[in-house]
Amino acid sequence: MPATPRPLTLPAPAKLNRMLHIVGRRQDGYHELQTLFQIIDLCDYLSFNLRQDGVIELTTSMDGVAHDDNLIVRAAKRLQQASGTHLGASISIEKHLPMGGGLGGGSSNAATVLKGLNQLWQLGLSDATLAELGLALGADVPVFVLGKSAWAEGVGEKLTPATLDTPWFVVIHPGISVSTPAIFQDPELTRDSLPITMARALQGGVAEWRNDCEATVKKRYPRIAEALDWLAQHAPSRLTGTGACLFAAFESQEAAQTVAELANQRWQAWVARGLNTSPLQDALGC
């Protein structure tokens, strides 16, 4: 009997928004952002098995997300359609990243599918093409396709790789979910931050970095305000994206571990390392 081929297993890392400014609103209601995305080493892991019958199947169920709505399945079908391939794939996931927490897990899953199947199906598509296909699935997909920490503008698709410091982060999930549309619809949201250059943003550093969604999220979700205030006792704390996760940077793994253990008494907390290159790039040998 022929040996069953080993699946291709690839990471899908999380991101943090080290700072996030809202600099305007487009005609279609979407907001123009300026943000520093940093990839971190907290990951989901996806495994791919090639299928000759063209079927796309996600073999792991995910609470609250129907099979065909899953960004993993949608990304695979989108790539299949765009490339015209007759190949398919069975995909499974080891899920570690909380859903809808501002860590970009869904977008990262989609990016890993696009890059993984591009290799498995031997399509030879460029990152630019994959990012374009991914943008329709989520604003954060392109940065995960690029696979580098980056300065982002537009809705997150205009990317310039950026070299950030690589501290140890404590990331806290306060156990509630935030409605991204509700935050962006809030009349009190700051939408008129003055655009700055990437150089200016990098120069500012932790002392100046802020997230324009934070005031609105704190007002609507007192439990997030509580966690942000708690973490701020240890180091400057920030929201990532529209939350619900929040984070602070530490110089050593030990310092981060100590604070994470305290945080774990009340919330789910992780220690994660800031990166400038995605572990997906390393795994694919890019």
Residues marked as catalytic: 15, 140
Comparison of 76 and 254: residue with beta carbon closer to ligand ADP = 76
Where do contacts with ligand SUD occur on this chain (CB under 6 A)?
Answer: 17, 29-31, 33, 102, 104, 107, 138-140, 155-156, 180-181, 184, 241-242
- Annotated binding residues for ATP: 98-108
- Interaction partner, residue 105 (ligand SUD, ligand ADP, none; CB < 5-8 Å by kind): ligand ADP
Which amino acids are annotated as binding site, given as ranges? 98-108
Looking at residue 3, the DSSP 8-state letter turns out to be P
Residue from 34, 35, 38, 70 binding ligand ADP (CB under 6 A): 70
Q: Which of ligand ADP, ligand SUD, none lies near 31, with the C-beta cut-off 5 to 8 A by kind?
A: ligand SUD
- How many of the chain's residues bind ligand ADP (CB under 6 A)? 15
Query: Judged by CB, which is closer to ligand SUD: 47, or 109?
Result: 109
The span from the CA of 243 to the CA of 206, in Å, is 18
- Residue 117 CA to residue 111 CA, distance in Å, equals 10
From CA 272, how far away is CA 283, in angstroms rounded?
A: 18
- Closest CB to ligand SUD among residues 107, 149: 107
Q: Which is nearer to ligand SUD, 87 or 217 (CB)?
A: 217
Only one of the segments 67-75, 145-153, 154-162, 261-269 lies at the binding site for ligand ADP (rule: CB under 6 A); that segment is 67-75
**CA 180/CA 241 separation, integer angstroms:** 9
Three-state helix/strand/coil letters over 162-204: CCCCCCEEEEEECCCCCCHHHHHHCCCCCCCCCCCCHHHHHHH
| Smallest separation, CB 264 to ligand SUD (Å) | 23
Compute the least distance from the CB of residue 37 to ligand SUD, in Å: 7
Of 18, 21, 13, 42, nearest in space to 238 by CA: 18
Q: What is d(CA 248, CA 239) in angstroms, rounded to the nearest whole number?
A: 9
Q: Does 103 bind ligand ADP (CB under 6 A)?
A: yes
Q: How far is the CB of 239 from ligand SUD (least distance, A)?
A: 9
- What residues contact residue 136 under an 8 Å CB cut-off, 6+ apart? 78
Q: What angle do CA 76, 112, 128 make, to 5 degrees?
A: 85
